[in-house]
Every structure is written in C-alpha cells, then in structure tokens.
Chain A
Amino acid sequence: MRNPQLNRHGELIHLLSIEGLPRDVVTHILDTAGTFLSVSEREVKKVPLLRGKSVFNLFFENSTRTRTTFEIAAKRLSADVINLDIARSSTAKGESLLDTIANLSAMHADMFVVRHAESGAPYLIARHVAPHVHVVNAGDGRHAHPTQGLLDMYTIRHYKRDFTNLTVAIVGDIVHSRVARSDIHALATLGVPEIRAVGPRTLVPGDLREMGVRVCHDMAEGVRGADVVIMLRLQNERMSGAMLPSAGEFFKTYGLTPDKLALAKPDAIVMHPGPINRGVEIDSSVADGSHSVILPQVTFGIAVRMAVMSIIAGNEA
C-alpha cells in the first residue's frame, strides 16, 4: 500500500498526516518554513510562488483561527483564496462530500485545505481529486492535524535546536486529539527519545503505548524533568459527563500551574495549540509567563503553512 501523500519519487504531493513521512521530508518543510519567516517580517509580505493558483479552504467543521492562518499563508504566497463555509452551505442541502469536491474541481481548484469532523475524510478527497490537485489536511476528526504538528516541531527546534535529547510531555485529552497524534508521530520521526502522554485514564488510554509513548496518569511524574510541555485544549463537551467530572477537578489534577511547571526543567517551554481555556488546562500566569511560547507558535504557523503549500504545489502526482 503506497502512502497516498507521496508520489513515486517519495515527494510530498498532499499533506494528510505526519505518520509515514520520512525524516528528510519533515526537516525540509521546517527548513523551508525558516526561509518564509523573514517574508512575514518584510514590508511587502508576499512571494509569487503560488501566483495564479486557487486555494480552496473547505471547512466542514468551523474553525476561524485555523482557516485564517491558512488564508494568510496562501495569500503571502500570492494565491487566490476562496473560503467556503461548507458547514452552512452545500452539505446542509444534502450534497455529498465527493459531489462538493467534484463541483469545486470544475471551478479549477489547485489546492484544497480541508477540515472535517471525521477521521480520514481528507484521504477520501485525495483519492478522488485530479492528479494536479493537492490536498492539505487542516484537521480530520481525532486523526491528524499535520500542519499543527509541524509548527509545533518548528517551535521546539527554534528553542531547543536538537530533538535527540529531549523529553516532551503532552498533557490532557490525548484520546480525542488530532494535535496529539500529529505531535507524537512528528516527535518520533525527529528522534525524540521520551514522549509522555499525561492525563486520566479516560483521556489517556493504555493503547497509546503502541504509538511509542510513555503513558503517565500522574501529572507530577508526567512533567518532571520535561524540556517541553504541550498542553492540549479541553473541549467543552468533555468537561462534564463520563469523561471527566468537572473542569474544576481537571484543573486541580492536570492543569498547568506554576507549581507543576516548577517540576519541569528550568528552561522548559510551554506550548498550546490554542485557543486556550484559562483556568481549565492552564493557569493564566503560566500562559502569559516567561516559559510560554504560545504566541510565537502562531507566528511560526503561518511560515510552516506557507512551506507546506509551496512544497506540495511544486510536486507532481
């Protein structure tokens, strides 16, 4: 079974997941992102790499923030960007996913940026688009959010340089998190020796060990000696019911407070994919404190998305 995001030469034609990407492909994306970072700091924030190309943002699930970062990235590459709020248009009228894709393809789309509530939806789309059309997964169900994973790696590399001596703790709702899965695959690909998944058994099941992580149900054990602490957003619907009794109890047991952060390495960085829930998974003083790199993550995210779009647009199926 060939990895559907690579062509015969092993080049990236879609970005669907970090799983299965060779290390040099990941490194190449990060290096390319580095060159784009300066573009965003210039007076004229544009390069002509995607001039004349049409990028369609297909968000079957609402996310203003992620959609905006893709839109900015595409525009800085000089692409024409079309935002489709699918959640409120065609599928609401009963059109099937593939019919929507076929219709948009007839409008000569060159790239689809897809967010969908179901794991694997971008794979289905990638299987059905014309050979010159590229697909970027902007988050599918619980499965993957590869550009977030890559921007997290860019951030870690920026602050820590070397991956091969790091301890990274990912804390919170791992089981439902596409960010966690993409981070785990990326960290493993880049040679991080200790990846910890931290949280209660309802959110961090033992199966995760099969992804090569150390499962910790104790927060102190999880963050002790960590170089990087990645806090995940706790979705509102998990905050009560059978997954967790309450947001308050979660904050008390797994929320990142200055006391708990003190167990990590003195130069540890704190990351979060946003949007943050202050007082649920992270204390305000930590989110705004000196260890936090949450805002630089956002800046790097634009450069990483520019890198991904420019690389896949240059490769033929």
Chain B
Amino acid sequence: MKILIANGRIVDPASGRDEPGDLAVADGRIVSLGRVPAGFEPDRRLDARGCVVAPGLVDLAARLREPGHEHEGMLESELGAAAAGGVTSLVCPPDTDPPLDEPGLVEMLKFRARKLSRARLFPLGALTRGLAGEVLTEMAELTEAGCIGFSQADAAVRDTLVLQRALQYAATWGYTVWLRPQDAWLGNGVAASGAVATRLGLSGVPVAAETIALHTVFELVRATGARVHLCRLSSAAGVALLRAAKAEGLPVTADVSINSLHLTDVDIGYFDSAMRLAPPLRQQRDRDALRAGLADGTIDALVSDHTPVAADAKQLPFAEAEPGATGLELLLGLALTWGEAAGLPLHAALAAVTSRPVSVLGPALGSLASSAGRLVEGGVADVCVFDPAARWAVRPEALVSQGKHTPFAFETSGVELPGLVRATLVAGVPAYEAR
C-alpha cells in the first residue's frame, strides 16, 4: 500500500527536523520525507494541512488487561485506544492474570496483537514466577517468545538476595530489568505522606519508600552491572538520586507518568478515587522536580501508565478503590501541555514520547531500533498525524479505551488538551483515522 501524507509539518524529534513537506509511504516504510519522488502514485492521500506529521508515540507503560482482566480492558479495545492516541508502540507490564511468566502466554499475546495490526506490542516478562519474588523465570525462553525485558510490575521483590540474583542472571544475557522503586513495607499506604494524607486520614507512603528502593537498586547495579529501567519516579528526592546515579555512569534509565507530571496530592480533593494512583501523587515540589528532570533528560521518558479500571472498582472509598487511570489517549495531549508550560519547542516535547523511549528500549527492539520513534527515509512508517492547534475536552464516555477513569476528565478538571490525533499509521497502514 502506498500512502501520501501531503502538506504537513514534518517534525522528527530525533533529528530536530521541523519543516513543511510531504511524507510518502510504501510497503510499510517511509520512502521520502519532504519531497515526493517522481512517479510516486499513492493508493491513498491524506491531507495534513495544518497538521504535524510526527513519529508514532512509544509508550513504555500501558496495561492492556489481557489475559485475566478482560472486564477492564481487552487487547482490541486497548490497542484501539493506543492508535486513537497516536501510540504505535507500547510496552506492557507482566501483571496480567496469570502473569506473563510463561513463553506460551507471551507468544499468544504477541500473536493476537499482530492479528489486530494496531499498535506494536512489546511485552515485559515477569522477573519472578507469578511475580512472587521468589523464583526466577526462564528469561532466555521468554526473550525468544518476544519479551523485551523483565519486570515485577508493582510487586516489589521483598527478598534482596532474590533481587540480586535476578539482576545477576539478567546481566548475564544483557536483559534490562524494569523496576518500580518502592519499598514493599513503607509502600503500603494509599496516598503520599504529607499534609493532605494526614488531614484526610489516609495511610501515607513516605518519600523514603522510593529513595530506599533506589539506593538498594543502585547498589545492586554497581555490584552486578545489570541494566535497570526505573518505572514511574514520583519524588524530588528520587530525581536527585537518579541524577547522581547517571552522573556516576550507572546503566540506568527512568520514566515518569503523565499523572505524576501534572497532578499533586491536593487534587485528591474530597477523596476523588480517580486520583487513586500508583505511585501516589506527591507534592508540588516533587512535581516541579519531575518536570525539570524530564526536561533536562535525567528522566528519559514520559509514559501513560495506562491502567483501565472497571467502574465498580473505582466506586469505592478511596483506599479500597483500585489504583490506576486510563492514559493512552491522553499521552500526546499531556506531553504537549507539559512542553508548552516548560517553554520547549515542539520537537523536544515530542521526543519524551518518541525518540527518548526508543533509546530506553535500545537493542531490545531489534531491527526496529534504528527507526522506531523517528522519521527516517527507509525506516518503518509508524506515523502520527495531529492537529497541534485543536484543543479537546476529555470526555470519558467518548474514549476508545475500556478504562473510563481519568483525573483529566473535563467535567472535573476543566482542562482542555492540545493536539488532536487525525491519523495513525502503523507499518504504513492506517490504524486510526479521525472521522
């Protein structure tokens, strides 16, 4: 199939390119950027006048809920949500039911995702069997089945000896271990420790839950040489520790969620369960440090932390409500909102959700590593076309995702997001087109 995306503003974060032009696609690859080659006869022509033509977004954290939680999300609905949000590649954590600890489960998931041909799916395998933190999984087998790294999702490895061995074993084969830095015991609360949690009588998660886990991880990285990606930093102190670890040269990367980047615990208001999130929302100074850390590159990527939650699981008292929010369709808008507030050029804001997350994935992407998250002639045609001037209100019932809970719903937040997705191409085929 040949497609011509005509008259757009081509923005490639990796190269800093930002200029008007046409983008030609044939057989899943970008044929040309800027000028259309002579004799190119497109089967389809997309008019991108007034729109930005950017690489498809790469989301390092999106739960699809399959297998096991199909009442909250299905592969079809959630990959559809990804395409509607301009996301063309996503990494899913292994906390499904059963967890992704068997090669067969991973192969099935990859197979089903391929058949849907929406977004590319990169599963993380479970680091330990059943995510129980006791027995290592068959990492080589899981990698062969398609896992791009290993993770405990939100379940901490309580036993430090097991964690050390997991890192040693992963380092043997050069696999990246994805860890959410949160101490299992101190992390037991439902809101960030501080004035809001104290006032509302909610059990707190102190900053030390994050910093103690980070110190542990960094010590084990020093000892084992394992490459670690830190998921969902939440605190100013955590950002400072990460900055120091990177300055030291430790092989670590990190991400932050759209929720922690834009919200604070004050947004909990009168026990709003849409704000029940993991990690919990922290204070203004933490949010400021996360924003600065993402801008200066200390934090590598912005992620949606997409977690569809069933309505019943949110209509509960705050502490009992299931943590999580829908996010795939909000990632672009919230990245652009952050970029505008930080005074960044468009390509820099987009880099946090395209080229920079691809750098985190690195060689695990295989042949895609050189062109995913970028616009390169000859590279894969994963493309997002969006109108940067259009502002839209988040209306949960209109979202493609089965998850309808979001802190950014217009009705409660009053916020409109910039960047309306017009079309998404995955491997040169339209996966989404706005009506």
Contact = CB atoms under 8 A, between A and B. Distances in A.
A144 to B, nearest CB: 7
Contacts of A104: none
B315 A124 contact: yes
Interface of B: 193-195, 197-204, 269-271, 273, 312, 315-320
Contacts of B201: 119, 140-144, 178, 181
Contacts of A207: 193-195, 197-198, 204
Nearest to B412: A1
A123 B318 CA distance: 10
A143 B200 contact: yes
Given A123-B271, A142-B201, A181-B199, A118 B320 contact: yes
A142 B319 CA distance: 12
A116 B320 CA distance: 12
A145 B193 CA distance: 21
A25 to B, nearest CB: 17
A144 B193 CA distance: 18
By CB atoms of chain B within 10 A, which of A98, A119, A205 has the most? Answer: A119
A1 B269 contact: yes
A156 to B, nearest CB: 22
A118 B195 contact: no
Given A4-B270, A96-B312, A207-B194, A120 B318 contact: yes
Contacts of A210: 194-195, 198-199
Closest 7 CB pairs of A and B: A120-B271, A142-B201, A143-B201, A118-B317, A210-B195, A119-B201, A121-B317
9 contacts: A3-B270, A96-B315, A118-B320, A119-B317, A120-B270, A120-B317, A175-B198, A207-B194, A211-B198
B316 A124 contact: yes
Given A143-B202, A181-B201, A207-B194, 14 more contacts: A4-B270, A97-B316, A116-B317, A120-B317, A120-B319, A124-B271, A124-B273, A124-B315, A141-B202, A141-B317, A142-B202, A175-B198, A207-B193, A208-B198
Find the residue from B194, B199, B269 having the highest chain A CB count within 10 A: B199
A1 B199 CA distance: 17
A207 B315 CA distance: 29
Contact of A119 (B194, B195, B202): B202
B271 A119 contact: yes
Interface SS majority for chain B: loop
Interface string A96-131: 111000000000000000001011110110000000
Interface residues of A, number: 27
Interface string A278-300: 00000000000000000000000
A1 B270 contact: yes
Given A1-B270, A142-B201, A118 B193 contact: no
A11 interface: no
A237 to B, nearest CB: 14
B185 to A, nearest CB: 10
B35 to A, nearest CB: 53
A118 B202 CA distance: 9
Interface in A173-202: 175, 178, 181
Contacts of B197: 207
Which interface residue of A19, A98, A123, A208 has the most chain B CB atoms within 10 A? A123
Contacts of A175: 198
B199 A141 contact: no
Residue of A97, A118, A181 with most chain B CB atoms under a 10 A cut-off:
A118
Contacts of B269: 1
Interface string A132-163: 00000000111110000000000000000000
A119 B198 contact: no
A97 B321 CA distance: 12
Residue among A4, A118, A120, A124 facing the most chain B CB atoms (10 A cut-off): A120
Contacts of A98: 315
Nearest to B199: A211
B195 to A, nearest CB: 4
A118 B316 CA distance: 10
A119 B199 contact: no
Interface string A203-229: 001011011000000000000000000
